[in-house]
Amino acid sequence: MSYFANRSGSASHYGLLTLVGVLLVVVLGWMLSDMGGPAVDRIAGGEVQSLTMFCAAGIRGPVEAAAKQYEQEYQIRVNLDYGGSNTLLNRLQVAHQGDLFLAADESYIKTAQEKGLVAESIPLAHMKPVLAVAAGNPKKIHSIKDLLRDDVRTAIGNPEQAAIGKRARKLLTASGDWKDIQAFVTRTGTFLPTVPEVANAVKIGSVDAAIIWDTTTVLVDGIDAVSVPELDKGRVLVTVGVLKSSENPTAAIRFARYLAARDRGLLKFKEKGFQPVEGDEWSEIPELTFFCGSINRRAVEGVITAFQQREGVQVNTIYNGCGILTAQMKTIRDQETVGFPDTYMACDTYYLDAVGDLFQEAVEVSDTEVVIALPKGNPRGIKSLVDLTKPGVRVAIGQPEQCTIGILTRQVLRAEGVFDAITKNVVTQTATSALLIAPVATGAADASLAYLTDAIAESDKVDTVRISSEAAKAIQPFGIARSSRQKHLARRLKQHITRSREDFESAGFHWRLETDKSNP
């Protein structure tokens, strides 16, 4: 069988290896979890006694309930400071203190990130603006135009203080109604700083109508909701952010995860009429399984360590040739066994595409190239691929059924028309790209087709000759498994990796992404 045989049937060739690999993933995860891992604080928050959260007043119900439950479970008090989202944002810019900021609209979190106030953010739930009227709707208010009637007094959140006011202004400006509504409410109604105050004004009868969140009408007795087309388009995403001012970021992230957990905080949001997002499952110290092509190790290892320390989580990273990793994934899927990764960073898009239906949200992070690696000083005077066809030249290459560089090598040699001639000189076949420098450095081979990044790391032992071929480029993608039960945690790992340009460039990669400004 040719060394460069097609990949069909490769999973069966490595069936035993795959099953052993799966078991090792499970056992390794258990061992690291039991030990707390190399970078994880077992209590994920140290000796923290309390946290401070600035919370949009309209979200008080579910947050207060979740905070109370959290204190009962973990003896950590969450001090809640309520106000309008914009008012709280302005306070944060002055005070630079606290641990968490929960806004009624994620736009405030994004603004806070742009201003350098917020690091991580986690989505919680959706809600939308509606008209609020007294129970039974005695004034028969059914449209935005009804707010302009002489017998209707209206309350709206102040756009400079409350998220609901800002959202109402934006939506009604788009519909062409804001100018008239603003003037009429200024003359006959009132603008208030928070959603609870606006809702209460309807409840006690000081106004006849208001614009509030649909969730607020569920929480406040004595008022009904009226949906109107102009406001239906204004669905917002309630989001919590971790403040950069936090002295205990790991503890702050831990409560944010609790609040965003499908079986903890999000249950409180659902009880209060919100539409919760699909949250992660709660775990004090959650674990991610990360399958990572060997080429990426030098770039991501430090990033993963820092991520574990900050988040208080465990990332069980499995480095190997992507052919082996892909075969493992297919076996896990087909046999419905445990151990399927939450995230996968392949050596090249070829191997992510091979399991593309199992992953989502893929991005191309970096690229590198296949080069000819040679002993220091290039004693044989090799200058091109053609020189590797000469009699007596010993060549090391990757196994295409096991690693990406094997696939790329096959593509390059065929593209350059030297496939058959160089195949005759192959003396060493490796399962991963990481093993291709050693044969050259030790004299076991005269040349190898290796990644530039691996050669740079051993530049004191090897020289390189570049290959002028587009087929010699490897692109490293990152994807999140559709089956992951920790997608939000996986997204934050992705964000850490996609903000690590310096780590990749120092390892010899070419960076492909635009700067990721989210969650700085």
Nearest to residue 273, comparing CAs of 215, 318, 333, 358? 215
Alpha carbon distance 356, 363 (integer Å): 12
Give the pLDDT mean for 365-392: 96
Give how far Cα 299 sits from Cα of 308, 461, 514, Å: 16, 20, 17
In whole angstroms, give the CA distance from residue 439 to residue 215: 66
Can you read off the two tokens belonging to residue 81? 């400071």
Q: Nearest 5°: phi and psi at 32?
A: -65, -40
Q: What is the pLDDT of residues 297-309, one digit of tens each?
A: 999 999 999 999 9
Cβ atoms of 125 and 269 closer than 8 Å = yes
Q: Has residue 7 got a pLDDT over 80? A: no
Q: What is the DSSP letter of 221?
A: T
Percent of the chain with pLDDT over 90: 86
Check residue 213 and give its pLDDT.
96
Residue 120 to residue 131: CA distance in whole angstroms: 33
The amino acid present at 31, given as its one-letter code, is M
Q: How many residues are given for the chain?
A: 520
pLDDT class for 46, splitting at 50, 70, 90?
low
Residue 30 has pLDDT above 60, yes or no: no
- d(Cα 435, Cα 4) in Å, to the nearest integer? 18
Q: 299 is written with which tokens?
A: 């770039």
Whether 424 has a pLDDT exceeding 70, the answer reads yes
Q: How far apart are CA 513 and CA 515, in angstroms?
A: 6
**Domains annotated on the chain, with CATH:** 50-125+237-276 (3.40.190.10), 129-232 (3.40.190.10)
Residues forming a β-bridge with 101? 54, 241
Decide if 25 contacts 318 (C-beta within 8 A): yes
21 pLDDT more than 70: no
Closest to 36 in 3D by CA, of 390, 236, 225, 287:
287
- Token pair listed for 328: 């493992």
Q: How far apart are CA 267 and CA 66, in angstroms?
A: 9
Calculate the average pLDDT of the chain: 91
Q: Give CA separation, 389 vs 3, 373, 378, 413, in Å.
A: 16, 15, 16, 11
CA distances from 151 to 147, 172, 179, 189, 208 (A): 9, 21, 19, 11, 9
In this predicted structure, the answer to whether residue 194 has a pLDDT above a threshold of 70 is yes
User: pLDDT class for 270, splitting at 50, 70, 90?
Assistant: very high
> What distance, in Å, lies between the first and last C-alpha atoms of the chain?
51
- Using the predicted structure, report yes or no on whether residue 12 has a pLDDT greater than 80: no
Residue 106 has pLDDT above 60, yes or no: yes
β-pair type (287-293, 100-103): unpaired
Q: Look at residue 515 in the predicted model and tell me its pLDDT.
A: 55
pTM: 0.85
The per-residue pLDDT for range 405-423, each reduced to its tens digit, is 999 999 999 999 999 999 9
pLDDT at 514: 79
Examine the pLDDT at 26 and tell me if it is beyond 70: no
Least confident window among 3-7, 76-80, 188-192, 427-431: 3-7
Is residue 32's pLDDT more than 70?
no
Q: Which of 8-22, 213-227, 280-294, 439-453 has the lowest mean pLDDT?
A: 8-22
Query: Phi/psi zone of residue 389: left (φ > 0), alpha (ψ -120 to 50 degrees), beta?
Result: alpha
- Is it the case that residue 40 has pLDDT exceeding 70? no
Torsion of CA 138, 139, 143, 146, to 10 degrees: -170
pLDDT at 492 over 50: yes
In DSSP terms, 126 is beta-bridged to 237, 275
pLDDT reported for residue 18? 44
Is a pLDDT exceeding 60 seen at residue 381? yes
pLDDT bucket at 15, cuts 50 / 70 / 90: very low
Across the range 339-361, mean pLDDT stands at 96
Confidence of residue 48 (pLDDT cuts 50, 70, 90): confident
Neighbours of 495 (CB within 10 A): 18
Specify whether the CB–CB gap between 131 and 208 falls below 8 A: no
Least confident of 2-11, 212-221, 275-284, 366-375: 2-11
- Answer whether residue 45 shows pLDDT above 50: no
Longest dimension (CA), the chain: 99
In the structure, what pLDDT confidence band is assigned to residue 369 with cuts at 50, 70 and 90? very high
The answer to whether 306 touches 359, Cβ cutoff 8 Å, is: no
The answer on pLDDT for 110 being more than 50 is yes
Does the pLDDT at position 19 exceed 50?
no
Q: Which two tokens stand for residue 278?
A: 């699909």
What contacts 108, CB < 8 A, 6 or more positions away?
A: 85, 86, 88, 89, 101, 163
The candidate with the shortest Cα–Cα distance to 103, out of 242, 280, 262, 282, is 242
* pLDDT band at residue 378 under the 50/70/90 scheme: very high
Cα gap 11→326, rounded to integer Å: 8
Asked if 475 and 364 touch (Cβ cutoff 8 Å), the reply is yes
Helix/strand/coil for 31? helix
Neighbours of 303 (CB within 10 A): 19
